Amino acid sequence: MTGAGELSIREVARRAGRDIKAVHGDVTALLLCGLLEKSDNGKVIFPYASVHVDFMLHAA
């Protein structure tokens, strides 16, 4: 989504090759935590040029 501008959830799902319902849930979570923004016309925007995520996984 970087640099793509405003996208519908349907378009995000198409680009990701995923089910619209699953993407809708993901987009909702990302909107709530502030990583995505919603435009006035209801489309979603990723307003960053890049994101650095740093995490560690441990065996269960």
Domains identified in the chain, total number: 1
> In this structure, is residue 59 part of a structural domain?
no
> In this structure, is residue 50 part of a structural domain?
no
> In this structure, is residue 1 part of a structural domain?
no
Q: What pLDDT was estimated at residue 43? A: 97
* Domain interval for residue 28: 9-45
Smallest CA-to-CA distance from 42 within 2, 22, 12 is with 12
Phi-psi region of 5 (alpha: psi -120 to 50; beta: other; left: phi over 0): left
Q: What pLDDT was estimated at residue 52? A: 87
Is pLDDT above 90 for 60?
no
**Which residue's entry shows tokens 């799902």?**
13
**Averaged pLDDT for residues 39-46:** 95
> In this structure, is residue 29 part of a structural domain?
yes
Q: What is the pTM of this model?
A: 0.79
Residue-wise pLDDT for 9-40, tens only, equals 999 999 999 999 999 999 999 999 999 999 99
> In this structure, is residue 57 part of a structural domain?
no
> In this structure, is residue 54 part of a structural domain?
no
